[in-house]
Structure 1
Amino acid sequence: MIPDKLVPRPNAGPGYWLSFLIPFAVATSFEHAKKHGLACAALDYQLNEVLTGAAWGMGLETLCYFLCEWLKEDSITKTIITLLPMTFTSLYLNLQMAPGAAVLFSLVLGILYLRVYKCVLSRLPRTFSYGEASILVQGLFLFVVTVGFRLLRGSSRAMTDFDKLYVIMQSALCFLLIACALLTLYPSLRRTVPLYILLTLLLVAVTCAPVTQPMPLIVLLDFILKDQKRLYIIAFYLVLVALTCATVSWQLRHSTKANTRVRKIFHLLIVLVFVPGICYQCQLLYMATGIAFAVFVVLEIIRLLKLPPFAAQLALAFNSFKDEKDAGPLALTPFCLLIGCCLPIWLTSCPCSVAAHDSPLVLLSGILAVGIGDAAASVVGSKMGRTKWSRNTDRSVEGTFAFIFSILLSVGLLQLCGLLPMSHVKWFCTVIAAINTALVESITDQIDNLVLPLVFYIFVGYA
C-alpha cells in the first residue's frame, strides 16, 4: 500500500531499484580512488567511508519505508524493518566515529532523509518516480554531510587552486540551498521585489563571503586570467551559450512542439562543453558545473513563481521542449541532463587529479551515456527503428545497437586523438558498461538522463 499523499510521476514504474544507484556509485568512486592511489583519497578516506555508509543507509531507508507501507498491520516484523537502516548505518560507521556519535548520526540521517523524501514527493506531485526522488534526495544529503564534515574537521594543509574552487562552489550551493529553504518557509519572499532582493544578497554572499583568502570574487578572477587557454575555453563556452539561446529562440518563433531531433541538439551542445573541459581545463569545468546548476535553479524559481521579466519566455520554452516525462511542475528533463553529466565529476574523489594522471574515462560517463549514447539511440530509433523490444515500448533494437556503437566509436576516436588513454581492462569495462547501459535504456521508463550516467559510471569505475 502506497501512501496517498505521495504523488509519483504518472506513466512510470516505481523504480525502487534506483534507490541503490547512488550507494553503488559512491562505493565505486571510493574504490577507484584507493585503487589508483590518488593523493586526496588518503586525505578524504574517513569522509568517503562516512558517505558510503550514509548512502547505503538512505538506500535501505527507502526500501524499508515501502516494505513497511505494504505491511497492513503493526507487527514485530514491521518494527525490525524500520530499525534495519539505522542499525546498518551505525554499525558501518562504528569504525569511523565513536559508537554514540555513529548511532546519533544514523538516527538523525534516517529521520531527516525520510521526511525530506516524502516532502519532495508530496509537494512536487507528478514530478518524480519513487526511485528518481530517492536519487535526488540522497544526493542532497550527501552534499550536506560533505559540507558538515569538512566544516567540523577543517584542513591544515595549504589550499591549492582546486581546493579554493571547491570551497567556493560548496559555499555557493549552501547559500543557494538556504535561499530555497527561505522561499519554502516564507511565502512573502516569493513576490517580485523581495525575491530579487534575496537573489542579489545571494550573489553578494557567493562572491564576497570570507570562505577563502582573498575573497571568492578575487580568487575566481585570478584563476580565470592567469591561464590564456582558460580564456579561450570560456570564449568557446560563451559561443555555445549563444547557440543554445538561438536554438530556443528559433523553436519559439516556429511555435511548435520540439521533436526528438531538435531536443537532442542540447545533448550535442553539452558534449561540446564537457569533452574539452575534462580533457584540457578540468578545474574550469568543475567550477562551471556549479555555476550552471545554480543558474538553472534560479531560472526555474523565476519560472515557477511567474516573476517578470523572464517568466513568460521561460514558460514558453518549457512548454515547447518538455516531453512526456515532464508531467510535474519542474522542468525535469533539462535539469536531469545537466545533473546526469555532472554526477560523475561530482562523485569522483579529486576529479581533476583523475583527469591529469589517469584516463578521464570515468569522468566522461555522463557524456558518453546520455550526451552520445542516448542521443544516438533516440535519433536512430526514431528514424530507422523497426524492431521494437516489446509492444509496450517505443524503444527499438536498432536504437540499442546505435547506443552501443556510438559510445565505442567515440571512445575510440578520443583514444586516437590522444585525449583518452585506454588499456585492455578499460576497454573491457567500457564494452560491458555500454552494453548494460544500452539494455537499461531499452527497458526502463525512468528518466534516462538521471539513470544512465550512474549505471555507466558504476561499471567503468572499476577499470
Structure 2
Amino acid sequence: MDTELWLVELNKKVEIFLNENNIKTRRGVGHGIWLNVLLPIAVIISSLKYDCSPLYKISSCISCGLLVNALLTFIQINNDLFLRTLSGFISSSVTVLTLILFTKQGLIFNLIFGVLSSLGYQLALLAVLKLCPHSFTFGEASVVTQSGILFLSSTIANFGFETNTSRMQIATLILQIGLLGICFICTACFLFPKLRKPNEFYLTVTGVLLLFIILLLHLILGFSPVLWIINLLTADLFTVHLLIYWVVCSVIAIISVIIQVYGCKKASTVVRKIFHILAVAVFVPGLIFRPCLLYLASGICFALFVALELLRLLKMPPIGAGLQAGFLVFADEKDEGPLALTAIYLLLGCAGPLWLHPLPSSNVMADVTPPPQQFLPLLAGLLAVGVGDTAASACGTWFGQHYWPGSRKTKEGSAACFISQLFLIIALIHYGYVPRSNLLKPTAAVAIASLVEARTEQIVPVYQLEENLSTGSRVIRPNTRQYTYEHTNIHLTKVEFLNLGELE
C-alpha cells in the first residue's frame, strides 16, 4: 500500500473514531493528521541542532514519546484494547528510556511522564475534542494536547533546578507559574459553576494571583517577581521607549476593533491583516534589541488572551459583552466552535519559534541580539504569518486573476508571499542579522513554503455561518454554493520549512 492510500485509510479510521465517540471537529477541513508529529519533531530537531539547557533536554525526551505515540495513531484509534495497550506501553517505554539516558530526573518523574505521554495524551486529546466541539481538527487538538503535556512537564521539572540566574531562566519560571495559575482558574470555573458569578470569580482570580502566583514566585526566586518585571521594563531609556512603542501599537489594535464593532460590519480578510502588520511591527524590534523582554511580554500576552477568552465565555461584566461583540465581527470559519482562536493563533504563529527555541546553556539570548545563525529561525513565524501571509492576502485580493488548479489561491498572491519574505531576508542579511553565506537555504525554504501553502488546499463544501451582529445569535446552515479550503494551520508548516532552511 503506497503512502497516499495509507493516508486515505488513516483518514477513514479517524472519521470512524470521531463518529463513534460523537466528536465534532471543525467543518469543511481535513483532519490534519500530519500535525500529530509536527511539535515533537520541532523540539527534537532543536535539541539536536543547538546547545540547549537541561530543562529543554527533558522536553526533548518527552517529545520522543509523544512522537512515537503520534506515529502509532493508526493503532490508538483502533477499538482493539490489546493493540491500544501495546502502543501505549511502547510510547511510555520510549519516554522513560530517553529520560533515563539523557537527563538526571528521578525514577518517579520518569514513570509519571512516561505514562502521561501515552495514556495521559489519549485521555487529554479526547477531552479537548469533546469539550471544544467544532473548534479544532483532530491534528490541531493533538498539537494543543502535546503542548499542554510539554508545558506541564517542563514546569514541574523546573522546580527541581536549584538556581535560576539568567534573565531568560527567571522569565521562563515567571511565565510557567503565571500560566499554571491561569489554567487553575479556568479549571476551577469549569468544575465549580458557582465561581462563574462575578463576585466569586473575581475573588478567585485575586486569590490565585496573590497567593499562588506572586507569593509562590517570591518563595522560589527569593525576591519579588513584580519588582523584577518593573526593573526589566525600566532598565534603560531605550527599553522604556520600546515599551511605549508597543503600547501605541496595542492601542491602535484596540481602536481598530472598536471601530469595527461600532460599524457593525464583518471584518474582511484584508482588515484582519492589519493585526498581522502590527505583530511584525512589535516583534521585529523586540527580537533585535530586547529578546528577553519580548519573550516575557509575548508569554504575558498569551496569558492575557486566555484570560480575556474566559471572560468572554463566562459573559463576565464589565467587558464580557464587548469581547463578544468583537468576536462576532472578526470571527471566521476557524471560530465556528465556542472558542475564539484567531487572535491566539496569530500570537502563536509569531511567538512560537521564540518559545520553541532552546535556551542555550551559555545564555547568549539573555540580553543581546541573537547570533546570526539563530536569528532567522526565531523570525520564521513573522516571515510566514506576518509578512508572507499578509502580502499574499492583499495582493491576491486586489490583483489576483490566475488561480491555482482546484483552489481560490492566486498565483499573484503566492508570488507576493515569496517576494515579500525574500526582501525581508535580504534586508536582514544586509544589516548582518543573517549570514550572507546562508542566503540560498532560507530562499529555497521560503519558496517551498510558499508553494506548499498555495497547493495544499482543496475545495470542500462547508456550512455557512450566519451571525446576527445585533443579537449575537449564530446559526449554522448548509451552503452548497460556497466553498472553503482545507487549511489546517499550514503556517506551522511554513515555520518548520524556514527553521530547517537555516541548517548549517
How has the CA–CA distance of structure 1 residues 129 and 274 changed in structure 2, closer, same or farther, with 3 Å as cutoff?
same
Counterpart contact for 1:252–1:320, Cα < 8 Å: yes
Aligned to 2:379, what secondary structure does the other structure show? helix
Superposition map of 1:188-207 within 5 A: 188-204=194-210, 205-207=212-214
Measure, in 1, the Cα distance between the counterparts of 2:411 and 2:244: 40
TM superposition shift of 1:356? 2.8
TM superposition shift of 1:248? 0.9
Partner of 1:244: 253
- Aligned match for 1:159, one of 158, 165, 180: 165
Aligned length: 447
TM superposition shift of 1:259? 0.6
Provide, for residues 191-217 of structure 1, a one-character-per-residue CA deviation record: whole Å limited to 9, x for no partner. Answer: 221111222233334445413232111
In the alignment, structure 1 residue 181 sits paired with structure 2 residue 187: yes
In the alignment, structure 1 residue 308 sits paired with structure 2 residue 317: yes
Counterpart contact for 2:56–2:359, Cα < 8 Å: no
Superposition map of 1:142-157 within 5 A: 142-152=150-160, 154-156=161-163
Q: Which stretch shifts more, 252-261 or 177-186?
A: 177-186
How has the CA–CA distance of structure 1 residues 137 and 68 changed in structure 2, closer, same or farther, with 3 Å as cutoff?
closer
- Aligned match for 2:445, one of 415, 428, 433: 433
Q: Which stretch shifts more, 266-275 or 16-25?
A: 16-25
Partner of 2:481: none
Partner of 1:415: 429
Measure, in 1, the Cα distance between the counterparts of 2:112 and 2:344: 34
Q: Which stretch shifts more, 83-92 or 328-337?
A: 83-92
Partner of 1:223: 232
Aligned to 1:9, what secondary structure does the other structure show? coil
Letter in 2 for 1:111: L
TM superposition shift of 1:145? 0.9
Q: Which stretch shifts more, 82-91 or 220-229?
A: 82-91
Letter in 2 for 1:174: L
Aligned to 2:127, what secondary structure does the other structure show? helix
Partner of 1:23: 40
How has the CA–CA distance of structure 1 residues 357 and 79 changed in structure 2, closer, same or farther, with 3 Å as cutoff?
closer
Partner of 2:26: 9
TM superposition shift of 1:452? 4.1
Partner of 1:385: 400
How has the CA–CA distance of structure 1 residues 139 and 399 changed in structure 2, closer, same or farther, with 3 Å as cutoff?
same
In the alignment, structure 1 residue 294 sits paired with structure 2 residue 303: yes
How has the CA–CA distance of structure 1 residues 187 and 343 changed in structure 2, closer, same or farther, with 3 Å as cutoff?
same
Counterpart contact for 1:31–1:462, Cα < 8 Å: no
Partner of 1:38: none
Aligned to 2:68, what secondary structure does the other structure show? helix
Q: Which stretch shifts more, 259-268 or 54-63?
A: 54-63
TM superposition shift of 1:142? 0.8
| Greater RCO, CA 8 A, separation 6+ | 1
- Aligned match for 2:148, one of 107, 116, 140: 140
Measure, in 2, the Cα distance between the counterparts of 1:76 and 1:161: 48
TM superposition shift of 1:344? 0.6
Superposition map of 1:289-368 within 5 A: 289-350=298-359, 353-354=364-365, 356-359=369-372, 360-368=375-383
Counterpart contact for 1:368–1:407, Cα < 8 Å: yes
Measure, in 1, the Cα distance between the counterparts of 2:290 and 2:121: 35
In the alignment, structure 1 residue 56 sits paired with structure 2 residue 64: yes
- Aligned match for 1:405, one of 419, 422, 425: 419
More helix by share: 1
Counterpart contact for 1:2–1:66, Cα < 8 Å: no
Counterpart contact for 2:257–2:326, Cα < 8 Å: yes
Counterpart contact for 1:256–1:320, Cα < 8 Å: yes
Letter in 2 for 1:32: K
Aligned to 2:408, what secondary structure does the other structure show? coil
How has the CA–CA distance of structure 1 residues 167 and 94 changed in structure 2, closer, same or farther, with 3 Å as cutoff?
closer
Partner of 1:255: 264
Measure, in 1, the Cα distance between the counterparts of 2:23 and 2:344: 22
Letter in 1 for 2:140: E
Measure, in 2, the Cα distance between the counterparts of 1:189 and 1:383: 49
Counterpart contact for 2:309–2:340, Cα < 8 Å: yes
Counterpart contact for 1:326–1:333, Cα < 8 Å: yes
Gaps of 5+ in 1: 35-40
Aligned to 2:24, what secondary structure does the other structure show? coil
- Aligned match for 2:409, one of 367, 386, 395: 395
Measure, in 2, the Cα distance between the counterparts of 1:283 and 1:141: 24
How has the CA–CA distance of structure 1 residues 412 and 5 changed in structure 2, closer, same or farther, with 3 Å as cutoff?
same
TM superposition shift of 1:408? 0.7
Counterpart contact for 2:335–2:341, Cα < 8 Å: yes
Provide, for residues 254-313 of structure 1, a one-character-per-residue CA deviation record: whole Å limited to 9, x for no partner. Answer: 211111110000000000010000001111111111111111011100111111111111
TM superposition shift of 1:104? 4.8
Aligned to 2:369, what secondary structure does the other structure show? helix
Q: TM-score, normalised by structure 2?
A: 0.83
- Identity level (%): 30
Partner of 1:424: 437
Measure, in 2, the Cα distance between the counterparts of 1:191 and 1:449: 39
Measure, in 1, the Cα distance between the counterparts of 2:207 and 2:191: 18
Letter in 2 for 1:421: V
RMSD: 2.3
Provide, for residues 293-336 of structure 1, a one-character-per-residue CA deviation record: whole Å limited to 9, x for no partner. Answer: 11101110011111111111111111111111211111111111
Measure, in 2, the Cα distance between the counterparts of 1:94 and 1:454: 31
TM superposition shift of 1:63? 4.5
TM superposition shift of 1:56? 3.1
More strand by share: 2
Measure, in 2, the Cα distance between the counterparts of 1:75 and 1:212: 46
Provide, for residues 326-354 of structure 1, a one-character-per-residue CA deviation record: whole Å limited to 9, x for no partner. Answer: 11111111111111111111111227724
Measure, in 2, the Cα distance between the counterparts of 1:306 and 1:219: 34
Q: Which stretch shifts more, 202-211 or 4-13?
A: 202-211
Partner of 1:91: 97
TM superposition shift of 1:357? 4.8
Gaps of 5+ in 2: 1-15, 458-485
Q: Which stretch shifts more, 99-108 or 142-151?
A: 99-108
In the alignment, structure 1 residue 448 sits paired with structure 2 residue 463: no
Counterpart contact for 1:340–1:450, Cα < 8 Å: yes
Counterpart contact for 2:37–2:71, Cα < 8 Å: no
Counterpart contact for 1:326–1:332, Cα < 8 Å: yes
Measure, in 2, the Cα distance between the counterparts of 1:379 and 1:63: 38
Q: TM-score, normalised by structure 1?
A: 0.90
Q: Which stretch shifts more, 3-12 or 322-331?
A: 3-12
Aligned to 2:26, what secondary structure does the other structure show? coil
